Amino acid sequence: MSFSKSLEFGGHALVWSGDWTPEGARKAISGAARAGYDYIEIALLDPWKVDVVLTKELLQEFNLRAHASLGLSASTDVTSTNPAIVAKGDELLRKATDVLYAIGGTELCGVIYCALGKYPGPASKENRASSVAAMQRLADYAADKGINIDLEVVNRYETNIMNTGLEGLAFLDEVNRPNAYLHLDTYHMNIEEDGMETSVLAAKDRLGYVHIGESHRGYLGTGNVNFDAFFKALKKINYQGPITFESFSSEVVDPNLSNTLCVWRNLWHDSDDLATKALQFMKERY
């Protein structure tokens, strides 16, 4: 079964903190609360290192919810034809699901269906089938904990499985699980889509999660993304789900994710100003 979603605005933890140490977690959660967000999106790249008790206490202290995202690596790539690598991917995804469940979250999103990075060639039928099977296993595991999985469509330099929303919907057809949804990101859509509306309108109630990011990953409205068209499309389908502001700068660095995403530029210095203005920008349009 699928699990209910509600319209809510959140911020990615990397807007405030590059790690999830006790200090980093407090900085990120307090920052998201201070800016007025409903939830924080935590990057569970290494869920074994997350202090679940502390995270829960901080979320309660600041009256904030949490969802989670991650991307796989070459050693956990569930598109692999090596069963040992796929097993490692399954293990990571189950652990991330466990952590999310423990902190009360209901949405596991991101590039959870392949390694996050540039592949040397197109995906084979075997690669795709392995990914589909892994997502079926994950969806079933997550369903037992009341969690939805949201598969993020990203650009060609970060996956060879699906680069447009329409390709993502075709992939979801193969996964065929009621708690598996499409996850769209305006940063990636700006690179790959024929405009900002087509995939949203095609997805309808299969759109389960949204990332709002500018073309250069900085302040919203200062790049090339047509946000007015995107939010107009969200209104047309009456989207009711999480909307996360996502922005990266060399001001805040996660050693692994920042390098994977090629975050070389310092696009902002003031996390609070960035986050507050982003929330206002999104609410003015939706």
Active-site residues, by number, are 152, 246
136 token code pair: 């079926």
Q: Which residues pair with 210 in a beta bridge?
A: 184, 243
Estimate the crossing angle of helix 52-61 against helix 22-35, to 10 degrees.
30
CB 132 within 8 A of CB 171: yes
Beta strands at 180-185 and 65-72: parallel, antiparallel or unpaired:
unpaired
Report the distance separating Cα 134 and Cα 56, nearest Å.
Answer: 29
Report the distance separating Cα 118 and Cα 136, nearest Å.
Answer: 24
Strands (E), the chain: 8-12, 39-43, 65-72, 107-115, 148-152, 180-185, 207-212, 242-245
Q: Which residues pair with 68 in a beta bridge?
A: 42, 108
Q: How far is CA 185 from the centre of its chain?
A: 8
The conformational region for residue 147 under phi > 0 = left, psi -120 to 50 = alpha, else beta, is: beta
Per the document, the length of the chain is: 286
Exposed / middle / buried, residue 116 (Cβ in 10 Å: 0-12, 13-18, 19+)? buried
105 token code pair: 């979250």
145 token code pair: 């904990």
Type of residue found at 59: L
